[in-house]
Amino acid sequence: MTQRPISVRALRTHQGDEVDVYSFFLKGSDILKIADISRIYRDEAEELKGFQRKEIRQHVGSIVEYLDRRQVLFPNAIILALSQEVHFNQSRGPAPKGISNPKTSDIGTLNIPIRNEGRRAAWIVDGQQRSLALSKSVNQDIVVPVVGFVASDLEIQREQFILVNKAKPLPRRLINELLPEISTELPSDLKTSKIPSELCNLLNRDPKSPFYQLIKRVSLTDTNPQAVIQDTALINVMKNSINNYGALALFKNMGDGGSDVDAMYRVMCVYWTAVKEVFPEAWGKKPQESRLMHSAGIMAMGILMDRLMPRLHSAQDIHRDVRAALERIAPYCCWIGGAWEGLGLNWNDIQNTPRHIKALAELLVQLDFAASQEAA
């Protein structure tokens, strides 16, 4: 039997491209009756779905403890993306006298259908943990403010999710994975991560990529046990390369103002395929077994890429020359055993710290320089 919709008194206004935005109050226990938590995952076609974090139990428990005190103040609004199934009935009659700008909003009744989980007419953009806590609290009568905007388009929901949460402790890996799915204008601090994250997705999906299915992504954590490389490390490699005059910067802001992402992708594939071929015994292993797969190793080898690839850019057979350059320093590399001469560190003492990454990168660059001088 179809349940009756929840009806609430609401104010309606318009923002952006005539998007309906509503403000209303709702019992906290009713939030999850009308709204789904859209958790991030990938479907069988590798398409990204959802956008939310997994439940953080400790955080939710702390909020429940607070709510159970009964006499609580809860002024923070839950933000919802509403489907076009919601219906607003504007109240008739003139606006009350004395209102400075009566055209700012309309008052009326907002009707929100109740659907089964997974098919609900709203999605939580901000307030996932609070909504879960409200549903678990014994204080079921607390009323909370809600702001909802009509947007059945998942891209708009993701855009708002990122913009609303970017100033909060939202996991950077979650933001990175969502960025390639957003086509609208982004703040400058997010723009710099969009291309590296897009490249990260391509490197993980392409069977011809040396990183095929080896990269840990938020949406694939539970479904891809063979992933061993932290996406943040690889994204930082590409981000630094693009922004600090590295190998990928050669293809940034081309003549038409755009960036040649395909050329960046080819550079990554050529270099890291050579790395995979020169160090096969260290490739694809867990970071505990191979420091080449460790974030420190990825970052240090990324710095070497920025020195090596521009130097060999015009080579007739760039793959052959890159591989030859790496083979010359291979005898001095200790990815799975031994001690790094010149660092005073055993292979498994290398940690993901700025000091270790800098020291390892400097050693690799020095080894490459010395080897190239001898080969000249």
Residue-wise pLDDT for 276-299, tens only, equals 999 999 999 999 999 999 999 999
Residue stretches of the chain with pLDDT short of 50: 1, 40-41, 48, 50-52, 167, 169-170, 181-182, 184-190
In the chain, where the domains are located: 6-165, 172-375
Q: What is the CA radius of gyration of the chain?
A: 26
The reported pLDDT for the residue numbered 212 is 94
Cβ 175 vs Cβ 162: under 8 Å: yes
Question: What torsion do the CA atoms of 135, 136, 142, 145 make, to the nearest 10 degrees?
Answer: -40
Q: What's the CA gap between 199 and 205, in Å, rounded? A: 10
Cβ 11 vs Cβ 24: under 8 Å: yes
Query: Strand pairing of 229-230 and 215-216?
Result: parallel
Q: What's the CA gap between 361 and 155, in Å, rounded? A: 39
The reported pLDDT for the residue numbered 50 is 47
The reported pLDDT for the residue numbered 237 is 95
Q: Which two tokens stand for residue 331?
A: 């005898």
Tell me the whole-structure pTM to 2 decimals.
Answer: 0.58
Cβ 177 vs Cβ 48: under 8 Å: yes
Closest CA to 24 of 144, 202, 171, 129: 144
Cβ 89 vs Cβ 109: under 8 Å: yes
Question: Whose structure tokens read 């139990």?
Answer: 57
Name, in order, each residue with C-beta under 8 angstroms of 345's C-beta and a sequence gap of 6 or more: 339, 356
Question: Whose structure tokens read 């992504």?
Answer: 217
The reported pLDDT for the residue numbered 56 is 59
Q: Could you report the per-residue pLDDT of 315-327, keeping only the tens digit for each?
A: 899 999 999 999 9
Cβ 260 vs Cβ 254: under 8 Å: yes
3-state per-residue secondary structure call for the chain:
CCCCCEEEEEEEEEECCCEEEEEEEEEHHHHHHHEECCECEECCCCCEECCECCCCHHHHHHHHHHHCCCCCCCCCCEEEEECCCCEEEECCCCCCCCCCCCCCCEEEEEEECCCCCCCCCEEEEECHHHHHHHHHCCCCCCEEEEEEEECCCHHHHHHHHHHHHCCCCCCHHHHHHHHHHCCCCCCHHHHHHHHHHHHHHHHHHCCCCCCCCCEECHHHCCCCCCCCEEHHHHHHHHHHHHHCCCHHHHHCCCCCCCCCHHHHHHHHHHHHHHHHHHCCCCCCCCCCCCCCCCHHHHHHHHHHHHHHHHHCCCCCCHHHHHHHHHHHHHHHCCCCCCEECCCCEEHHHCCCCHHHHHHHHHHHHHHHHHHHHHHC
Q: What's the CA gap between 67 and 96, in Å, rounded? A: 36
The reported pLDDT for the residue numbered 152 is 60
- Left if phi > 0, otherwise alpha if psi is -120 to 50, otherwise beta: which for 12? beta
